[in-house]
Chains A and B, each alone.
Chain A
Amino acid sequence: MTLLRSISIYSVTFLWALLYWLTVLLPVLLAALLPAARRRHRMRMILLWFGLTTVRWAWRPFFKVHYEDRSGGVRRPGIVVANHRSAIDGFLVSLPKLGMAQTVNGWPLRLPVIGHVARFAGYLNITEWDYETLKARAKEVLASGDPIVSYPEGTRSESRTMNPFRSGIFRVAMELDVPVYMLCIAGNEYMPDRKFRFREFRDLSVRLLGPLTEEEIDRCATAYALKQKVFRLMAGELAEMDAELDHEKTI
């Protein structure tokens, strides 16, 4: 069943991706001719809609995703911190419908088509850049009015327990004086697992929280204190979301 499940969702995702990228080929080529700032924003929107349509349309036959915005809307660009349980998180972060630049390890930027567009969109390469470069590029993204989504765990946890957070992106938030939002993603710890197998299909829950305001951030003495505060808030919310999903599953 795991094999059949995995083949079916990957086939649908591949076909959807083919259709989507063929459809947006002309807009992508036209966007590439725009001045840098507008080009990056346009590319982010193209990636956003790829993520959103994949989650809402292509994956609909397999599972549903319940999204809830408890942040009151992202009024000011800031850092959106997401937990990272599985490889589909890169798609799920599109649910707040924000043209965001994601922080990524080097490999997604080497993917055909999507990797090129992500580079044009100004995605932030956290493995190859030093802290000062990351901060300078983050400042550019935020100045253009777009938020940044980051996975401070660094790698997929593939479980309900978050990995310890790294401090870099929290230091960026503190030094650039921007709000921090929290995007909690629950239910996808085995969707897919580390070997990219879908051991199950189950409905997911995604919740946007925050923001932690500049004042709340200023009360943290260091990036470490801020990351631990965010970790505690997200861990509490995720425990609640997991319990809700388990309850729904048993009904």
Chain B
Amino acid sequence: MDRNEIVKAVNSIFIERFELDEAELTPEKNIIEELELDSLDIVDMIVGLQQKFGIMLRDNPAIRNVRTLGDVYDLFEKLAAEHPEIVERLK
């Protein structure tokens, strides 16, 4: 699974759940400071990502280090390599 597919899948959560424009979704965007998500929104983001990728994130310590959208792409790129079921789910 290439990075473009990961980016597309992650972005779909931000577009559907947060009604953000695709043009706004660039890897350097800070999720809290620039996209203006607060702690409750982050919970919504995690729930959306969990549903989309079919994987539990709450207990994953790496999610706490996410600051930018690029960090989310990196995290799921790594998770997709470790969990082939993610690739199957997104097909």
Residues of A within 8 A of B (CB): 131, 164-168, 171, 220-225, 228-229
Contacts and interface: CB of A to CB of B under 8 A. Distances in A.
Interface stretch (B32-40, B61-69, B77-85): B32-40
Contacts of A224: 17-19, 37, 41, 44
A168 B40 CA distance: 7
B40 A164 contact: no
Given A224-B44, A228-B36, 6 more contacts: A131-B40, A167-B40, A221-B19, A223-B40, A224-B18, A224-B19
29 contacts: A131-B40, A164-B36, A166-B38, A166-B40, A167-B38, A167-B41, A168-B38, A168-B40, A171-B40, A220-B19, A221-B16, A221-B17, A221-B18, A221-B19, A222-B17, A222-B44, A223-B40, A223-B41, A223-B44, A224-B17, A224-B18, A224-B19, A224-B37, A224-B41, A224-B44, A225-B19, A228-B18, A228-B19, A228-B36
Which of the four size classes fits the interface of chain B? 10 to 19
Contacts of A167: 38, 40-41
B40 A225 contact: no
6 A-B pairs with least C-beta separation: A164-B36, A225-B19, A224-B41, A167-B40, A224-B18, A222-B17
Interface string B19-33: 100000000000000
A222 B41 contact: yes
A210 B18 CA distance: 22
Contacts of B16: 221
A228 B44 CA distance: 15
Interface of B: 16-19, 36-38, 40-41, 44
A224 B13 CA distance: 12
A213 B18 CA distance: 19
Contacts of B44: 222-224
B86 to A, nearest CB: 23
A52 B61 CA distance: 51
A225 B38 contact: no
A172 B44 CA distance: 14
Contacts of B17: 221-222, 224-225
Contacts of A228: 18-19, 36
Contacts of A166: 38, 40
A131 B41 CA distance: 13
